Structure 1
């Protein structure tokens, strides 16, 4: 850790109770720090002879998981070019979900919130039509309320503290228009079957990176924000699975 970064972390730790933080291009809050560095991931993908998306599928889930997730999102949400014009995505990272959603619904506006500067540079080269929103790592403040047809995130909420994930979910409910779709995957209590918990208990230090959300409570929380559950699908994850939840704004 550089001296500058150490100072930023210390200052943000002191400022956290006030609701403010110092940022430089992306958030330095350790609660939402980047998961996989871009340069190393891209290099490993090239060495394996795979696209970055296919490499990440093999690394964190199983081959084809990204395509299957996007297909499920489109099917459950009834998302087509006729129903989606404006999209917001949180934490696109490598853009493996972004590219597939863009190709499927062909929106005129696709904005993203990404905290990792190295992945931002990569995305600017790979997907130049994206609009990058300034991010604090906790909110979607630059996006107006009821302004997007689809707001989604993948392989993010299950890795960050539950209160941070809940804040994002609350913001997703705010920015989606009536009739629009909110979609995200996380580790719900329904994901924790006996075989999964056995794996977790054999590797508690590795599995401590995950956080678990109460599914029924979360659905009630979103119902209070006029979001109704349309459907769900389990998604493979290293050491278990997440659940893709798709809601529609009434």
Structure 2
């Protein structure tokens, strides 16, 4: 069951932050897309084996689904959404568990790679979403929203708006599982991240990674996210836990949020 790609509402204008984010990831997606997603030092320079790369998604998606399944979620297995899909490794894994999986990304070059690597799948699709909204996905239509090592690269105001979009598209009985960072830790590396300006950090990354375009790290306020969630009584925070995926020097968190609203008639929230 494919999601409704039509969207009659006016498309919001892109912000300067979003335009800059799109340009960076367009370049990263052209230069070395798999390494830009999973930045292991020994894989830089297009040294990721595509099959090995795609296989990494199975463990992450499987672990997340196993954790929520014991709580009885998601109640449906029709549609999954991979936000910040990159080259499609998590979308591919989601497609094994849901009738249809959609991966969206701000970068058209990443989407091109995702489509090429996953051309054998009949129930997965990939869309470029260079918008501050999640376009073309109907309200209350997604059973499982998944976002991993993506929000940490998005400026805070924009990332917070995307989390609100997760909640908008989440179907009754659905679950949103997403990872983010809340700041730097107290290690020497974390102190560098905390005290060195972003511009200087980017220069260091360009030198070390030998790249003109480099991704940034951005922190979110967990208390602010909690206050926002309180205003949505149909949503419940099922789990909040530490997450080390952001790497050394960062304090990462993972939230799992369920939509506890009762599912309506068979047609309600359909894709």
Tell me whether the two structures share a fold, i.e. TM-score over 0.5.
Answer: yes
Rounded to whole Å, the distance in 2 between the matches of 1:37 and 1:134 is 12
CA offsets 1:59-86 (integer angstroms, 9 cap, x no match): xxxxx7x565434422332288974221
Q: Which residue of 2 aligns with 1:227?
A: 235
Contact 2:53-2:89 at 8 Å conserved across structures: no
Residue in 2 aligned with 1:51? 49
Deviations, residues 78-125 of structure 1 (Å, cap 9, x unaligned): 28897422111222002222222333x1x1111222222222111112
Of residues 121, 126, 130, the one that matches 2:117 is 126
Q: Distance in 1 between matches of 2:231 and 2:75?
A: 28
Contact residue 200 and residue 239 of structure 1 kept, 8 A: no
Q: Which runs of 5+ in 2 are unaligned?
A: 1-10, 36-41, 203-214, 261-271
CA distance in 2, matches of 1:50, 1:174: 35
Give CA-to-partner distance per residue, 1:127-160, whole Å, 9 cap, x none: 2332234523311131110011011222221111
Q: 2:252 matched to 1:249?
A: no
Residue 247 (structure 1) shift: 0.9
The gaps in structure 1 that reach 5 residues or longer are 1-17, 57-63
Equivalent positions of 1:20-39 (< 5 A) are 20-21=13-14, 29-35=19-25, 36-39=28-31
Measure the CA separation in 1 of the matches of 2:256 and 2:74. 18
Task: Write the distance in 2 (CA, Å) between the matches of 1:201 and 1:133.
Answer: 34
Residue 30 to residue 151, structure 1, CA distance change in 2 (3 Å):
same
Confirm or deny: 8 A CA contact 1:33 1:115 kept in the other structure.
no
Shift of the 147–42 alpha-carbon distance from structure 1 to 2, 3 Å rule, reads closer
- Please, what TM-score do these two structures have when normalized by structure 1? 0.71
| Mapped partners of 1:76, 1:220: distance in 2 | 25
Indicate the residue corresponding to 1:236 in structure 2.
245
Change (3 A) 1:140 1:201: closer
**Aligned to 1:212, which of 219, 231, 236?**
219
TM-score normalised by the chain length of structure 2: 0.66
